[in-house]
């Protein structure tokens, strides 16, 4: 099927599920992206300075632009929306295209989270009927379960925050686990340097900004770091638990059973009900449905359920659709409170 016909069929399918089509701007303020994703993300965007000296950029991501629209229009109620267009992002891999053609759909501002999660997945599955494929896999994860696990582990607060903050950076996260195993962050020289920096900062105005954070915020972090030591014997055990958790992968109808078996074995006070997952059938159309504890590390803004659909067509493996829940994104973009949000996008 030609790309244009495929796009039209998917759009028609999403609209039939009650989603309203919206247009999104192609150019946004670069600060919205950089503040959310960090200064290091700047090298991936196509930016320029306008006549007023303001830095603008081509949209690198449709979801962020959609959430900015919800925020800037001061919407309060539930919205079911969909959109299509191109996102523009540089890549370190020269083989990757800088232009991504996408169709996205979202449910914003609704507190019926479990049913909204199901609706997004069911909408994706219905749209998939427009595509010919021989087999495939629907992978489901949940970032929230990892967060709950970390909160239950015997770790200093600073280490819990560190692991949660860098979960999506897989290579760096693995380095953190190695440091956790060897107690590499507890070095007498480093501690002495931290104490000196702490004393120097105490003499300055706490409202002064350094690298995007106030001195007051930095002092709080130093205070926690110096007063929350970790015994070396704990690191290896905790790291092993995390590594073991991330290896859990099973048919979706066994997800709760496997997770609860893991929690019981490691004496972690957590229990998961099978109803927690949006699907319990191991087969949907030509898709095998699996749970993966490690899935969900592709985007920093995911907060809960995540999924992706990979299909095989003409002996090629294609990552066709992906999405999940991002309840903090609109808040991080400037909202005064969290707004529930879940969505998905087809990559054409």
Does 194 fall in a domain?
yes
Using the 3D structure, point to which of 225, 242, 259 is the last residue of a domain.
242
Residues 100, 72: one domain?
yes
Return phi, psi of residue 47, to 5°: -120, 165
The whole-number pLDDT of residue 212 equals 62
Q: What is the CATH number of the domain that holds 253?
A: 3.30.930.10
Residues 114, 73: one domain?
yes
Residue pair 147/117 in contact (Cβ under 8 Å)? The answer is no
Does 280 fall in a domain?
yes
Does 34 fall in a domain?
no
Residue pair 110/340 in contact (Cβ under 8 Å)? The answer is yes
Residues 254, 299: one domain?
yes
Residues 236, 253: one domain?
no
Residues 227, 251: one domain?
no
- Rounded to 5°, the CA angle 143-282-284 comes to 100
Residues 195, 273: one domain?
no
Does 38 fall in a domain?
no
The first and second tokens of residue 44, run together, are: 């991936």
Q: What is the pTM of this model?
A: 0.81
Using the 3D structure, point to which of 226, 242, 258 is the last residue of a domain.
242
Residues 301, 234: one domain?
no
Residues 228, 280: one domain?
no
Residue pair 217/164 in contact (Cβ under 8 Å)? The answer is no
Residues 319, 180: one domain?
no
Note down pLDDT in tens along the chain; length 348 residues: 566 788 999 999 999 999 999 999 999 998 877 776 667 678 888 999 999 899 999 998 899 899 999 999 999 899 999 999 999 988 877 777 889 899 999 999 999 999 999 999 999 999 998 888 889 999 999 999 999 999 999 888 889 999 998 998 888 999 999 998 887 554 445 555 566 777 777 888 888 877 667 877 877 776 666 555 545 457 889 999 999 999 999 999 999 999 999 999 999 999 999 999 999 899 998 899 999 999 987 777 899 999 999 998 777 788 889 999 999 999 988 888 999 999 999 988
Using the 3D structure, point to which of 193, 211, 242 is the last residue of a domain.
242
Residue pair 68/81 in contact (Cβ under 8 Å)? The answer is no
Residues 95, 191: one domain?
no
Does 224 fall in a domain?
yes
Residue pair 241/250 in contact (Cβ under 8 Å)? The answer is no
Structural domain count, the chain: 2
Residues 14, 87: one domain?
yes
What is the Cα–Cα distance from 204 to 271, expressed in whole angstroms? 47
Residues 107, 135: one domain?
yes
Structural domain of 306: 3-24+59-148+243-347
What is the Cα–Cα distance from 81 to 66, expressed in whole angstroms? 9
Does 198 fall in a domain?
yes
């Amino acid at each position: 099927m030609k790309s244009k016909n495929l796009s039209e069929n998917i759009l028609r399918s999403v609209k039939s599920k009650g989603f309203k089509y919206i247009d999104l701007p192609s150019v946004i303020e670069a600060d919205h992206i950089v503040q959310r994703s960090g200064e290091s993300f700047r090298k991936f965007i196509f930016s320029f300075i306008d006549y007023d000296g303001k830095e603008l950029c081509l949209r690198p991501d449709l979801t962020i632009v959609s959430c900015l629209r919800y925020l800037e229009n001061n919407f309060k109620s539930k919205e079911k929306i969909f959109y299509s267009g191109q996102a523009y992002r540089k890549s370190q891999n020269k083989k990757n295209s800088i232009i991504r053609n996408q169709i996205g759909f979202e449910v914003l501002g609704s507190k019926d989270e479990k049913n909204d999660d199901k609706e997004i997945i069911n909408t994706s599955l219905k749209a998939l009927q427009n595509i010919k494929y021989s087999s495939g896999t629907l992978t489901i994860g949940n970032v929230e379960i990892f967060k709950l696990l970390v909160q239950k582990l015997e770790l200093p607060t600073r280490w819990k925050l560190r692991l949660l903050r860098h979960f999506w950076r897989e290579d760096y996260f693995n380095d953190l686990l190695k440091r956790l195993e060897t107690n590499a962050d507890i070095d007498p020289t480093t501690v002495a340097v931290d104490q000196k920096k702490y004393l120097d900062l105490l003499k300055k105005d706490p409202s002064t900004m350094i690298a995007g954070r106030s001195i007051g915020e930095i002092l709080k972090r130093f205070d926690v770091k110096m007063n929350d030591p970790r015994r070396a014997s704990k690191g290896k055990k905790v790291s092993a638990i995390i590594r073991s958790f991330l290896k859990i992968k099973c048919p979706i109808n066994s997800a709760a059973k496997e997770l609860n078996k893991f929690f019981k074995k490691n004496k972690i006070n957590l229990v998961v009900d099978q109803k927690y997952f949006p699907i319990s059938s191991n087969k949907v159309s030509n898709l095998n449905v699996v749970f993966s504890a490690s899935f969900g590390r592709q985007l920093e803004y995911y907060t809960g359920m995540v999924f992706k659909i990979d299909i095989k067509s003409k002996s090629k493996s294609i990552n066709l659709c992906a999405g999940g829940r991002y309840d903090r994104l609109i808040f991080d973009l400037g909202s005064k409170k969290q707004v529930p949000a879940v969505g998905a996008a087809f990559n054409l």
